[in-house]
């Protein structure tokens, strides 16, 4: 297997825009020619748009961009800027008088870390598109990952910095890549060792271990922090139909379960989109296997590449101590 960049997949561009004072931002993955799209929502508190459209029983099968955004439900406004950009570039579903861009999206909750009045909007979404390139995949405290945090079982005062991570693999001509914005209620762990690498911190600076804490506190589970949700996208050059694209999104969630503990909680809105550009014939099970792997690696990279913001401790801060 070869390690590649997400933007090495032909036709894919990635753009970010953020407000560091507000500690929020958005990220867009563009495929202006259109790609077969799917989605799977496993968290109990999702904030999404156009997910019903991606059901295999519905008409449209291709998307032209995917929005990942901070700002809670307010952040869905950024999709309007993406639609404007794509329409101006003649990209979308042809309805005769114009082309209507299909832009599914999902948000995470980051209103508590910076200025909650600063939220991704149409202007920010448009700027993210203007910033989009096929050359680079920036990571860490950027775009939708700007205000992301992890490990909030004891509240924001004990949380650590999350962020945005990417990872891509190539097997033969097949490429499968992931971009994940990690803003989890639970801890982030190394799946090979079980070691916590980012999560809720005790007074002494040690990791609390969210799962063990929840088990010990089984009679008092009413005050779980609400400021969560991990969102992402898997992109491949595989030839998939709409049903397969949705199944791929489901398979990719294994990467969340391996690296975030617990994942898919009622206070997370964990969502994964898929885009398949249709260039390479392949076995869906192989694509799904790789999708889970690259999603898990993207989760790890998201916290390792993140830098501290507004006083929230990052992984790199702990390595200095």
pLDDT tens digits, 209-248 = 999 998 988 776 655 677 789 999 999 999 999 999 999 9
Buried b (16+ CB within 10 A) or exposed e, 118-142: bbbbeebbbbbbebbebeebbbbbb
pLDDT for the residue 221: 63
Segments of the chain scoring below 50 in pLDDT: none
How confident is the model at residue 32, as a pLDDT?
93
Q: Which stretches does DSSP call E strand in the chain?
A: 2-4, 13-19, 24-41, 48-49, 62-69, 93-94, 99-100, 105-107, 149-150, 160-161, 163-171, 174-182, 187-189, 196-198, 231-238, 260-261, 271-280
The pLDDT assigned to 36 comes to 97
Residue 201's Cβ-side half-sphere holds a number of Cα atoms within 13 Å equal to: 19
Alpha carbons 75 and 79: distance in angstroms, whole number: 8
Question: What is the predicted pLDDT for the residue at 321?
Answer: 64
Q: What pLDDT sits at residue 212?
A: 92
Instruction: Domain ranges for the chain, please list them.
Output: 2-320
CATH number given to 2-320:
3.60.70.12
Q: Supply the pLDDT for residue 136.
A: 75
pLDDT value for 222: 59
Model pTM score = 0.95
Give residue-wise pLDDT tens across range 111-157: 999 899 999 999 999 999 999 999 878 999 999 999 999 999 998 98
Quote the pLDDT of residue 246: 97
| Residues 18 and 25 sit within 8 Å (Cβ to Cβ) | yes
Q: What does each C-alpha distance from 15 to 53, 75, 195, 210 come to in angstroms?
A: 24, 16, 32, 33
């Amino acid at each position: 297997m070869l390690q590649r960049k997400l933007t090495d997949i032909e036709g894919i561009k990635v753009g970010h825009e953020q407000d560091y004072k507000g500690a929020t931002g958005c990220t867009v993955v563009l495929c202006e020619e259109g790609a077969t799209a799917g989605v799977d929502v496993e968290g109990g508190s999702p904030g999404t748009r156009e997910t019903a459209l991606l059901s295999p029983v519905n008409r449209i099968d291709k998307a032209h961009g995917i929005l990942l955004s901070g700002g809670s439900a307010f952040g869905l406004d950024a999709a309007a800027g993406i639609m404007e950009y794509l329409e101006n570039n003649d990209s979308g579903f042809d309805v005769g008088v114009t082309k209507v861009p299909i832009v599914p999206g999902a948000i995470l909750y980051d209103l508590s870390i910076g200025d909650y009045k600063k939220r991704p909007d149409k202007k920010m979404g448009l700027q993210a598109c203007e910033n989009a390139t096929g050359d680079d995949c920036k990571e860490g405290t950027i775009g939708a990952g700007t205000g992301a945090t992890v490990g909030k079982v004891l509240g924001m005062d004990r949380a650590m910095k999350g962020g945005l991570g990417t990872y891509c693999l190539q097997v033969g001509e097949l490429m499968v890549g992931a971009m994940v914005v990690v803003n989890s209620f639970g801890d982030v762990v190394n799946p090979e060792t079980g070691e916590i690498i980012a999560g809720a911190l005790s007074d002494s600076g040690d990791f609390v271990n969210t799962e063990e804490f929840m088990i010990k506190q089984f009679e008092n589970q009413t005050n779980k922090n609400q400021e969560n949700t991990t969102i992402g996208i898997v992109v491949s050059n595989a030839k998939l139909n709409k049903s397969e694209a949705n199944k791929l999104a489901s398979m990719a969630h294994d990467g969340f379960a391996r690296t975030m503990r617990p994942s898919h909680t009622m206070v997370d809105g964990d969502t994964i989109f898929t885009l398949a550009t249709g260039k390479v014939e392949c076995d869906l099970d192989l694509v799904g296997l790789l999708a889970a792997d690259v999603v898990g690696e993207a989760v790890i990279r998201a916290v390792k590449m993140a830098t501290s913001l507004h006083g929230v401790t990052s992984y790199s801060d702990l390595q200095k101590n």
